[in-house]
Amino acid sequence: MGWRSTIPQSDVSHGADLSRTLAALPPGVDLRLLRYFVMVAETLNFRVAAERLNMSQPPLSRAIQELELRLGVVLFQRDRRNVALSRAGAQFLSDVRGVLADMEKAVERVRLAERGLKGQINIGYFGSLIYSFIPWLLAAYQELYPLVEPRLFNLPKDQQVGAMLEGRIDVGFARQYPVRSGLTSEALVDENLVLATPTGRALAGRNLVSLADLDGEPMVVFPRLPRPSFADSVLAMIAAAGAVPAAVTEMDDAAGCLAMVSAGRGSAVMPASMRMFHSPATVFVPFAAPVPTSPLACLYPAGTLPVVVENFLAVARSRAEAFVRT
């Protein structure tokens, strides 16, 4: 029984899985034979086809005969003067063009992927960075690498560590990370902190405040978990300044923290980028020098990294300083 096409034309035209397409070909039929066949089919002249393939005519004729033998069908009707495609040959030509087009696309994809210009990057994040740095970074990255698809995963820091060790994410972002063998934590830049305080409070009317001014002030901190975290850093700064908050309310995230400030429950020390969230019930007041800061850190596997990850980190490093100046 001869070979018949099992390649759906719709699959070929829409980029069907190439390995499945090639598996449909009979044993011994490779891309070399397919390219020979297409050239003969397009020229309908063995001599011209051989010249374009930079080979002599006899090996080309033998290759086509071998292809017909392996397929079990006649692809060309030929006599001493003319060469024409058979009905089976015309159908096969349509299918083979799709196979070769898919192969060219696959080669182009793998070349782009090797250079980090195409593919996917999985990014873990946690905390207030999703409101500020992450979208800003993604916009800059996509401008340079539009064919790479970024995927975001909202994961606490300890879960980011586990996901990275298991290969589920490529890079992570948070304020700080625990030390873990096999992973690298890099502080990209220090971001200035500001005080978010309810409208009408005495501190809201100040041009500048200090951490010592928070003595006796009810405070709202975030995140509640995991610890240690940005919340612990803030409380440590306040304590180092000799201030003792009247009360401390812990919230899960920055959005909840701002909601509590707007509700009048207390003030909050927050990254300066959170000033983008305007509320008539909240005032953001800068700190006087020395201005307290918080690190903006990224996490990635130690050792040699895929090019797509190296490219992403290069953009993050180059744009981090510009981000804190915006």
pLDDT reported for residue 81:
82
The answer to whether residue 312 scores a pLDDT higher than 50 is yes
User: Is residue 278 very low, low, confident or very high in pLDDT (cuts 50, 70, 90)?
Assistant: confident
Q: What count of Cα atoms within 13 Å lies in the side-chain half-sphere of residue 160?
A: 32
- Give me the mean pLDDT over the 66-87 stretch: 90
A 10 A CB-CB count for 32 gives 11
pLDDT reported for residue 30:
84
pLDDT reported for residue 276:
86
pLDDT reported for residue 321:
80
pLDDT reported for residue 267:
98
Give the residue from 274, 238, 236, 235 showing the smallest Cα distance to 258: 274
pLDDT one-digit tens code per residue, 8-62: 344 334 444 555 655 556 677 888 899 999 999 999 999 999 999 999 999 999 9
pLDDT reported for residue 116:
66
Question: 7-19 as b/e, with b when 16 or more CB fall inside 10 Å?
Answer: beeeebeeebeee
In three-state secondary structure terms, 80 is coil
User: Is residue 179 very low, low, confident or very high in pLDDT (cuts 50, 70, 90)?
Assistant: confident
pLDDT one-digit tens code per residue, 101-147: 888 777 777 776 666 678 899 999 998 888 889 999 999 999 999 98
pLDDT one-digit tens code per residue, 239-263: 999 999 999 999 999 999 999 999 9
pLDDT reported for residue 7:
37
Q: Do the beta carbons of residue 284 and residue 196 sit within 8 Å?
A: yes
pLDDT reported for residue 140:
92
Could you tell me what percent of the chain has a pLDDT over 70? 90
Torsion sign (Cα): 96, 100, 105, 106: positive
Could you give phi then psi for residue 131, rounded to 5 degrees? -90, -10
What does the mean pLDDT of the chain come to? 88
The answer to whether residue 299 scores a pLDDT higher than 80 is yes
Burial of residue 259, with CB atoms counted within 10 A of its CB: 0-12 exposed, 13-18 middle, 19 or more buried: middle
pLDDT reported for residue 17:
56
Could you give phi then psi for residue 81, rounded to 5 degrees? -110, -30
Q: What is the pTM of this model?
A: 0.67
Q: What count of Cα atoms within 13 Å lies in the side-chain half-sphere of residue 125?
A: 20
pLDDT reported for residue 320:
86
C-alpha 5: how far from its chain's center? Answer: 38
Could you tell me what percent of the chain has a pLDDT over 90? 67
